[in-house]
Amino acid sequence: MKWEVLKDEAAVSARAEEFLLESLVSSEVGAIALPTGKTPVALYQRLNLLSEDLKAQFRTQTWFALDEFLRRDLAPESSFRGFLLRHFIHPMGIPEGNLLTLSFHPDDPEKEATRYESAIAAAGGLKLALLGIGLNGHIGFNEPGTPLDSRTGVRRLTEKSRKANAYLFPSLEETAHEAMTMGISTILSARRVLMLATGASKEAPVSRLVKDRSITETFPASALWSHPDSWLLVDSTAGAAL
Ligand code: GLP
C-alpha cells in the first residue's frame, strides 16, 4: 500500500479526482465501486463542478455501491442508494440505471449477494474500488472479525458503526442493525483500491493501518496491505501521526 499525506480535505479530493479520471479515460473494462459516508462528500461536490465534457465520461461508466443498510422500513433517503443518487448520480447527470446497489429489503439475502457478485463479474469486475475507513477499521460494512476471504453478504453492525451512521436516520433506535456489503475479498478483487480518510476522528485508525502492518481480521482495512495496487490518501489531520 502506498500512502500520501495531503494538506487538507480539498487536496485529498483533488488527488482522488485524478485517480478517478485516470480510471475513466483508460481503455480498461470494469466497474467502479463507490463509498457513502461523510468522507467522500467533498470529492462528490468537487466532481459536480467538472465541465460537461468531463462529466460525460462518467455517464457511460457502471458504478456499484459498496454496501447498503438492511431494514425493511428504511426510508429511501436513508439508504445508501438514496445517498449516492443525491450526492453523485443526479448532479453528474449519470443515468440511474448505471448505478447498481444492493436491496435494503431482499427476500433472500443470499440470492441478493449472488446477484451482486454476478453483476460485478458481468461488468468486467472492478477496475477501481474507492473506500472510506470506519472508526474500527471497517471497509464497506465488513466489521472487525469478518473473514478476509469474505464475499458479498450480510453483516451485523457494531454499536460504534450504528452510532457513526445515526445522522442518516431520524433517531439512533431507527438505525439499521444489519447491512449488506461487498466482502473484503470482493473489494480486494478490484484492480486498484483507493482509500480516503480525513478529519481528526480518523487519526487513530489511519495510524494503526500504516504503522502496524499486520494483516488481520480484527482490523479489516489492514487487508489493503495484501493488494498490489492499493493507495491511501489522508489529510494532515487524519495523517497527523504518520
Ligand atoms: C460507513 C460505510 C463505509 C464508510 C465508513 C466511513 O458506515 N459503511 O463505506 O467508508 O463507514 O464513513 P465516514 O466517511 O462517514 O466516516
CA 152/CA 181 separation, integer angstroms = 5
CA proximity to 81, closest of 97, 68, 93? 68
| Position in ligand 1 atom list of the atom nearest CA 201 | 16
Q: For residue 226, report the distance from its CA to the centre of ligand 1, in Å.
A: 21
Name the closest-CA residue to atom 2, ligand 1.
Answer: 140
- The x, y and z cell numbers of residue 175, run together, are 438505525
pLDDT band at 27 (very low <50, low <70, confident <90, very high): confident
Residue 201: pLDDT over 90? yes
Global pTM? 0.97
pLDDT at 115 over 90: yes
Mean pLDDT for the stretch of residues 189-210: 98
Determine the residue of 12, 104, 138, 187 to mutate for testing ligand 1's pocket, defined as the one with the most ligand atoms within 8 A of the Cβ atom: 138
CA of 57 to the centre of ligand 1 (A): 26
38-45: average pLDDT = 98
Nearest-CA residue for atom 12 of ligand 1: 37
Q: Is 67 helix (H, G, I), strand (E, B) or coil?
A: strand
**Amino acid occupying residue 127:** K
**Stretch 120-128: mean pLDDT:** 98
Q: Is 213 exposed, middle or buried (0-12, 13-18, 19+ CB in 10 A)?
A: exposed
The arithmetic mean of pLDDT across residues 12-32, rounded, is: 96
Residues with CB under 6 A from ligand 1: 35-39, 66-67, 131-132, 134, 140-141, 161, 164-165
Q: Which of 102, 133, 160, 187 to mutate to test the pocket of ligand 1 (most atoms within 8 A of CB)?
A: 133
- Ligand 1 centre to CA of 199 (Å) is 13
Residue 190 confidence (pLDDT) above 90: yes
Catalytic residue numbers, as ranges = 67, 136, 138, 143
| pLDDT at residue 236 in the model | 98
Report which DSSP code applies to 161: H
Residue 137: which of 167, 160, 168 has the closest Cα?
A: 160
Q: Which amino acid is at 195?
A: M
Q: Is 234 helix (H, G, I), strand (E, B) or coil?
A: strand
- Cell numbers that stand for 61 in this block: 461508466
Residue with cell 477499521: 137
Ligand 1 centroid to residue 53 C-alpha, Å: 30
Q: Are 137 and 213 in contact (CB under 8 A)?
A: no
Q: Which one is predicted more confidently, 177 or 27? A: 177
Q: How far is CA 154 from CA 105, 142, 180, in A?
A: 12, 9, 4
Ligand 1 centroid to residue 54 C-alpha, Å:
27
Counting from 1 in the atom list of ligand 1, the atom nearest the Cα of 165 is: 7
pLDDT band at 19 (very low <50, low <70, confident <90, very high): very high
Q: Cα(50) to centroid of ligand 1, in Å?
A: 25
> Which residue has the least CA distance to atom 11 on ligand 1?
134
What is the C-alpha to C-alpha distance for residues 4 and 123, in angstroms, rounded to an integer?
30
CA of 132, closest atom in ligand 1: 10
